[in-house]
Structure formats: structure tokens, C-alpha cells
Structure 1
């Protein structure tokens, strides 16, 4: 089986990069797939930081940046790679507008579209003409042979008969869990509007006033367009430590007590299951679309009505003040994380790819 993944970039340590490196490596190592990852916008630091099997091939293309010529350059370069690699299946892992155009570029090969976002993003962040173009392009999703969403809700949003649900696999296998005794809360995520740091800081203002001996650690790359350090300073917040993103999430979770997810929306919520693998429970807004399908409220974490900052702060305080509850949720979180173990998740991918290849033959 020859598989071609197309993604925006494979550099960095974001969720998509971590998951793609795990899936590609697993398919190559355990199923004998010939896997190639094609990065279409790999600029600047091109270092691949997530572990990738030496059996996985990587290719980078750089389409012309001119708005007028970009699509034609993008199309030509992808067609050249497909002609050279001759894949049995092509998987699109880029959720930008151009990703929907793949059926217009690649013919006579089974195509899979991986959805890593939610329609909330389309409706609330794409404005004006961009929203219109996105909605028109998104109709091409029905031209793919299969569309894979990470959650049932995400699949329902796509409103297409070719949808499948395959969650992200757990990318880590911790050898030990956190004791949950350190007075530390953690957040991992990109510095942007989606991740809801403004909501987090409003909650932290309440929490830190009540529990000034606790500390908040935030892992993520600085973003001048969303300066969360300035947000924190404007609220005169203290005991916040800003750290660079890490490839090894054990650095964040191994001694954490509580994981926080203040996002406005998610495609899944990978940090929830990664924290859970270390026995660290999560307090999350029940935002679209992932947290509500991962966390069982008051069993392996706490789900808060989306946007209720006071309730979010109160839930954090409750876990800070009740160690037995914190440890109980953490114990169940470990069990929950195993629902996303690599073996059963990758078995689903293998079945899908082989079914598409058989369908092509017949």
C-alpha cells in the first residue's frame, strides 16, 4: 500500500504534526505501508521535531505566493508528486480552502479528507468573501471517496454520506503518572483567538485571588497577533509562567495537577487525552466539538457550559481544594485515555485504506 499524505507543514510540535507523525510512522512500521508526507507550505524553520520513522518519506513543495498564480502552481506541483509517487490512496490533512480542491487536481485515485476543525470556525472566523468562498469550496468534500472526522459531532456537521469517525490516537505512552500534588495547572495550545486565553485569564483572576500559592504554566509559541502576555499584564495577573512549546509533553504533564482547556472550539482536543494518560484531569469548556465526546463530566474530568467563566473558575477551585476528587478524576482519566490507544485507532485507518483500494480495483 502506497500512501500520500498532503499537509500544510510538518515542522513544529502542534497537534496535527504530532498526530500525523504517529500515524505515518505506525502505518510504515507495523503495516508495511510506503508512506510519503507532502508539505505544501513549509517555510522558515523546516525542522521536523516530532519523531518520524526513517521509513517515512517527506517532500516539500513551495507554490508561488502570488494570489493569482498560487492555485495553478499548487496544482502543478501536486500532480508532479502524484505522478512520481504513484500512491494507492491520497489523504488531505490540510483544512484550508485549497484542501477542498484536491478532487479537481487528482483524478482516478481514492481520496480521503481529514477534518481537523469544526463549522464553528467557518461561521465565526471566516469573514465576508472568505466565508462565501470557503462554503462553496467545502461542497467539494462530497467528491472525496471518504471524509474522516475526529468526533461524531464533527461528522454530523459535514453533512455528507461518505463520512467516517476515527479519533486521534494517543501519541504517548507514559511510564508513570503525575502524583497531582504539585500546585500547578497547565495549558498547552497555540496563542490565538480559538484557544480562549482571554477567557482563561478572566478565570485565573478569580482562582489566583483565592489560591495565590498555585501557579499557571502556559506552553505555546509567542504570537504578535495574539499577545497573551500583554493580556495577562493588562489584568495584573501573577504566578503565570509562559513557556515554549515542547515535543515531549511529559515535561508539562508529569508533575501537573490539573489541565485546562478554555478553547472556543476544537476539532478534537488532543491535550485532554494526553493529560489523561498522565492521570491529570481536565477542566474544559464544553465547546464545539471535541471535549463533550471525550470527557465524561464528573467521572474523568469536568465539563463547563461554554463561556461560563465563573463556573470555569469555580471548577478549578473545587479541584484545588478537593485532592481526593482530583485524584479520583485522574484515575478514571487514565482509563479514558486508553480508548484512544494507537492499536485500535490505527486498525480503523488500515481497514479504511484497504477498503478504498479494493473498491478502486473492483
Structure 2
């Protein structure tokens, strides 16, 4: 049994403060490797989340945005997400109440978020709480600055790179930050570059190093670890794939990170990515040529005859 805990979220010192010392903090990796970034030359603001009124608080985004429009009449807010009929009705009522019908666009659910980020200069977050906030990572990947209420525990924005924070509930402060960004091109570009650059610490190589350190520490500090790991197949295979990572073609391995299901057959090992877990299986067959199999390629083989 593994006695060490790796938790994807809370910083390590949070647990150490409680007297729990066998903790490893490993953040989520970023799968956003976008080469395109926003030009940051529009007055567009994007808000993207589930329409959870008490948590994501889209109505506060509308209220703050209405103050932006008073100063910058051509500013535009794009609200992207989905929720219950009552949530959507509540959002529409707020759009009308704050008289921003001509500036606020309730887009609804759309998986193709790229076009909104590339055409925006600000990513607005009004949540009262967040987990790891992958949407902020996505925003950073497009070089779009984030404006939000301060969430002191949120690791992804602790470095304050490419992000401006207002005190919780300070609508005027939130609006002023957006106005400052939209009115100052040089500052806007600086924040955008900071946002993009800050994403590097969440890349796959850095995260894999943290996992490798975890397994190496477990292996070296427990006499029975080797046997226990072999009995725990998934953990053992996870350790193997992390050790093998440096010996594999990194371009190919990084490529399959973007798929929920994929297989790489390489030499005498088969690497499998299933959802967020990647495992490796030792094979008795030696593969001369690297082969990548993805879910989409399997479907093509099944439904498309040559």
C-alpha cells in the first residue's frame, strides 16, 4: 500500500501545516499547446463557465461589465456556457436590467472556444471558488490576461503573471481593472506575454518530473515497495511509463496527451493513454516501427473499408 499522498490541487504546505508530511504536491498538466495567441487588439471580454449562479456568478460579470461600458461604449462581453432554464432566464434579466443588451452576448454552450479567446483581450472570472481552473490555463495558452476576484489558494494564479485581481465582491474594482487593460495597449500586451510564459511550469515535462520524483522517493524509502508496486498493477505501470518517458520519442508521447484514448507500440513496450492515465505494458513482440493508434483511427478502420 502506498503511504505517500499526491493530491492534484492543494499546495503541499497546506498539508504540512496540519502535520501531514508525506505529501507531494503535483499540479494538473496543461494540454494547451497553442501556437496561436490573441492579438489583444479588440475590446472583447470573454467569460466562460457553467451557469452556476451561486458559484460562477455570471450576474456579477454583467454588473461589472456595465460599468466598463459606461467608460468604453464599444466594449463587448461574450458569455459562454450552459445551465438550467432558470439560470439562463436570470442571466437575461441581468443583461436587460443593466442595459447592456447591445454589448453583452449570451452565446450558450460551444466547445469551439478557440475563436473567442483569439478574438478577446480579457478573460473574466467571477467565481467565488475554483478547483484547479483549467479555463485559466486555457486563457493563458492564448496569451489572454485574466481579470478575477482574488482566490488566494488558487495555485494557477499565485505568481500573478498575466492576471489582475480585485478583492472579493469588489465590483467597482473589477471594472476598473478591465478598463485599465482595455485603455492601455502596452500594458495589455505585457500581461498577455506574462500569461503565455507562465504556462511553462505546467507543461508535461515538468509534471512528469514531479511524478518521477514521487515514485523514486517511494521506491527508495520503503523496503517492501517493489513487491507492493508489482501487486498494484496500475501504480507499477504508471511508474514504468514515467521512467520510460525519457527513452521514448517525446514528440510522439506529447502528441498522444491530446487524446482520451491512444496506443503507441514501440520496441518491446506498448504505451496506452486512457482518459487521464497513461500506462505501459511489456510485450513479448518487438516492434520495428513506431505505430500510433487513436480512438478515431480505430473507428475509421471499423467503418471505412479500403
TM-score normalized with structure 1 length: 0.54
User: How far is the alpha carbon of 1:259 from its aligned partner?
Assistant: 0.8
**Corresponding residue of 2:299:** none
State the Cα deviation string for residues 210-251 of structure 1 (Å, max 9, x = none).
212111011111323533233333333321112234444322
Match of 1:237 among 68, 91, 100: 100
In structure 1, the residue matched to 2:50 is: 190
State the alpha-carbon separation in 1 of the partners of residues 191 and 37 from structure 2: 13
The residue number in structure 1 matching 2:177 is: 315
Match 2:67 to one of 191, 202, 206: 206
Match of 2:11 among 141, 149, 152: 152
Contact 1:149 1:164 in 2 (8 A): no
The structural deviation recorded for 1:295 is 4.9
Q: Is 1:169–2:29 an aligned residue pair?
A: yes
Stretches of structure 2 that go unaligned for 5 or more consecutive residues are: 229-306
Distance 1:329 1:223, change over 3 A: same
TM (norm. structure 2) is: 0.63
Corresponding residue of 2:206: 344
Contact 2:15–2:21, Cα closer than 8 Å, also in 1: no
1:329 pairs, out of 191, 198, 212, with 191
Q: Could you give the per-residue CA deviations for residues 253-278 of structure 1, whole angstroms, max 9, x where no partner exists?
A: 11211111111111222222211111
Preserved contact between residue 149 and residue 155 of structure 1 (Cα < 8 Å): no
2:149 matches 1:285 = yes
Aligned match of 1:15 = none
Q: Structure 1 153/208 Cα, relative in aligned 2: closer, same or farther at 3 Å?
A: farther
SS in 1 for 2:106: strand
Inter-partner Cα distance in structure 1 for 2:129 and 2:13: 11
Alignment match, 2:81 = 220
Q: Distance in 2 between matches of 1:319 and 1:198?
A: 21
Contact conserved, 1:265 with 1:288, CA < 8 A, in 2? Answer: no
Structure 1 consecutive aligned stretches of length 4 or more whose deviation exceeds 6 Å: none
8 Å contact 2:12–2:24 — kept in the other structure?
Answer: no
Q: Does 1:361 align with 2:223?
A: no
> Does the CA contact (< 8 Å) of 1:195 and 1:262 recur in 2?
yes
Looking at structure 2, the residues matched to 219 and 157 of structure 1 have their Cα atoms a distance apart, in angstroms, of 38
- The match for 2:267 is none
CA distance in 1, matches of 2:25, 2:93: 39
CA contact (8 A) 1:266 1:288 kept: no
Do the aligned residues in 1 keep the contact of 2:32 with 2:137 (CA within 8 Å)?
Answer: no
| Partner SS, residue 212 of structure 1 | coil
- Alignment of 1:249 with 2:113, yes or no, is yes
Which runs of structure 2 are paired with 1:3-22 in the superposition (5 Å)?
Answer: none
User: How far, CA to CA, are the matches of 1:288 and 1:196 in structure 2?
Assistant: 18
Cα gap change, 1:260 to 1:286, in 2 (>3 Å): same
Distance in 2, matches of 1:223 and 1:145, equals 41
Instruction: Report the structure, 1 or 2, having the larger strand content.
Output: 2
Shift of 1:190: 0.9
Tell whether the 8 Å contact from 2:44 to 2:77 is kept in structure 1 after alignment.
yes
Task: Report the secondary structure of 1:226's partner residue.
Answer: helix
Q: State how far apart, in whole Å, the 2-side matches of 1:360 and 1:235 are.
A: 63
Q: Tell me, in whole angstroms, the C-alpha distance in 2 between the residues paired with 1:356 and 1:229.
A: 53
Q: Name 1:276's counterpart in structure 2.
A: 140
List gaps (5 residues or longer) in structure 1. 1-108, 111-143
Q: Alignment length, in residue pairs? A: 219
